[in-house]
Structure 1
Amino acid sequence: MPRQDFDPATVKPDGRPAARATLFDPAAEVPWRGSIDGIAIGGPVTVLAYGTDTPGVGPRLHVHPYDETFIVVQGNARFFVGDMTLDASAGEVVLGPAGVPHRFENLGPGRLQTIDIHHSPRWIQTDLE
């Protein structure tokens, strides 16, 4: 059954053009790393690519004034979000709510690759360690 969640006639285009930017080089042998601020392409979210081949390694503890959604593309990660610890594998999604300190690390074996969606048109972060 096809989806019909809203009436398309009720939404008017806002005049923004489609846009494109390079987040990472998919041909590179190294883990993907990069970021695109939403403001650079006229969008409401900022997108990061993060990868590491080293178990135990990941971003330091930090916090944002907006939600962050993590998509595990490859490997296994351990997320520390406030008082919670969540393990996630390729194909799973984790939410870091606004104002809640968080970090994650590669559980191994092998490469961890994530796509991190910052619910803001620009990347705003305070490192806590």
Structure 2
Amino acid sequence: MARNDYDPASAPPDGRPAAKAPLFDATATPWRGSLNGEALGSPVTVLAYGNDTPGEGPRLHVHPYDETFVVTAGNARFFVGDAVIDASAGEVVFGPKGVPHRFVNLGPGRLQTIDIHHSPRWIQTDLD
């Protein structure tokens, strides 16, 4: 189905060039890396996170901007404020700005995520 969500004339190009930069070493597993959006002239920062150990994950932390998590492999349990959300490959979890969050690998096997920080720079305060 064709989409026609907006008039292209209402949002003309702003002159920024297309760009690329590495996010992670694709020969290493699990994938881990980060790319600040400012390196590409982008308003978002992207992280690749992975681990092979059930129960393991990032520590509790908070950001001054929203974060979107894309589970690309495995199963995770997200703790976002008071919410506990289980997510599997193909699902997306949203973490609002200012709300402490963390997640763990539920297993079995590898957990792999792509984490989109709605900021041109990765800004974080660890809480534990």
* Range into which the TM-score falls when normalised by the shorter chain: over 0.9
Q: Which moved further from structure 2: 3-12 or 107-116?
A: 3-12
Question: Is residue 101 of structure 1 aligned with residue 100 of structure 2?
Answer: yes
Structure 2 equivalent of residue 25 of structure 1: 25
Structure 1 SS opposite 2:24: coil
Identity of aligned residues (%): 78
- SS of corresponding position for 1:22: coil
Q: Secondary structure at the match of 2:94?
A: strand
Q: CA RMSD in A?
A: 0.7
2 CA distance for matches of 1:32 and 1:126? 23
- Distance in 1 of aligned mates of 2:12 and 2:89: 36
Q: Which residue of 2 aligns with 1:34?
A: 33
Q: How far off is 1:26 after superposition?
A: 2.2
With structure 2 as the length reference, what TM-score do the two structures score?
Answer: 0.98
Q: Aligned pairs, how many? A: 128
Gaps of 5+ in 1: none
In the alignment, residue 17 of structure 1 is paired with which amino acid?
Answer: P
Which residue is 1:53 aligned to? 52
**In structure 2, distance between residues paired with 1:58 and 1:98:** 19
Note the C-alpha offset of 1:35.
0.3
Per-residue CA deviation, residues 41-64 of structure 1 (Å, 9 max, x unaligned), is 100000000000000000000000
Residue in 1 aligned with 2:73?
74
Task: Provide the rounded CA distance (Å) in 2 between the counterparts of 1:66 and 1:10.
Answer: 27
Q: Does 1:126 align with 2:89?
A: no
Counterpart AA for 2:107: G
Structure 2 distance, partners of 1:101, 1:124, is: 13
In structure 1, C-alpha distance between the alignment counterparts of 2:12 and 2:83, rounded to whole Å: 41
- Which 5+ residue runs of structure 2 have no aligned equivalent? none
Q: CA deviation at 1:9?
A: 1.3
Q: Deviations over 1:71-124 (max 9, x none)?
A: 000000000000010000000000010000000000000000000000000000
Give the Cα separation in 1 of the matches to 2:35 and 2:59.
20
Q: How far, CA to CA, are the matches of 1:9 and 1:87 in structure 2?
A: 41
